[in-house]
A = this chain, B = another copy of it.
Amino acid sequence: MNTTRQGLLIVISGPSGVGKGTVTKEFLSRNTNAELSVSATTRARRPQEIEGVNYFFKTQEEFKRMIDNDEFLEYMQVFGMNFYGTPRAFVEEKLAQGRDIVLEIDVNGAMKVKKAYPEAVTIFIAPPTMSDIKSRLYGRGTENESAIDRRYREAFEEMQYIRKYDYVVVNDIIDRAVKAVCSIAEAEKSKVSRNNDLIQYYDEELKSND
């Protein structure tokens, strides 16, 4: 039983202001076998950013060629400008090495990934209540009222997708939410459907004892 076991592809979504970034970061810090996926983007590299660590930086032509070659698990264009996408090859190589890969993406991206890769584990981070979202968005104090209103309307729309996810984790207490995500990752590894190699190993042992 020394075959490398396929890693998990974990998709984390949730509305703006729900704290999914904090949950993801804390999950990664408690799971050394898990890492965040590196996206490709057409936006300009900022001084402190490192190619292949923060992003894979691409020109518009390169990105479009990758789209044509079906090299993305999902991608999106923000406000008709820059592209962002999850490179299929990067994810598949890591999974084959047994690493768990986390994608923190929006509901549309999540649905595309689940379609392309049905074994993906999709987790929706939800607020205790919707008014909680509103106060968190206002509490940030970094945006004007119309930007907050837009985010709040988007949050409403994202919430309609919960039923399409595998799991829903309420982020009421951050430590509890992170533990729930850790449990989901651990439990998924025990699923019979993810343990074909193990079961085949027993089958062979059983046969050789007949």
Contacts and interface: CB of A to CB of B under 8 A. Distances in A.
Interface of A: 123-124, 126, 129-131, 156, 159-160, 162-163, 165-170, 179-180, 182-184, 186-188, 190-192, 195, 198-199, 202, 205-206, 209
A156 to B, nearest CB: 6
A209 B163 CA distance: 20
Contacts of A123: 190
Contact of A167 (B159, B180, B184, B192): B192
Given A156-B209, A199-B162, A206-B130, A167 B183 contact: no
Instruction: Please name the 6 residue pairs, one residue from A and one from B, whose CB atoms are nearest each other, closest first.
Output: A187-B187, A183-B186, A183-B183, A167-B190, A184-B187, A183-B187
Contacts of A184: 183, 186-187, 190
How would you classify the secondary structure of chain A's contact residues: helix, strand, loop or mixed? helix
Nearest to A124: B192
A45 B192 CA distance: 38
Contact of A195 (B168, B179, B186, B202): B168
A7 to B, nearest CB: 17
A190 B179 CA distance: 11
A168 B131 CA distance: 41
A198 B130 contact: no
A170 B201 CA distance: 13
A126 B124 CA distance: 32
Given A129-B205, A160-B206, A186-B187, 15 more contacts: A123-B190, A124-B192, A126-B198, A130-B206, A156-B209, A162-B199, A162-B202, A163-B192, A168-B192, A180-B190, A183-B184, A183-B187, A183-B190, A184-B186, A184-B190
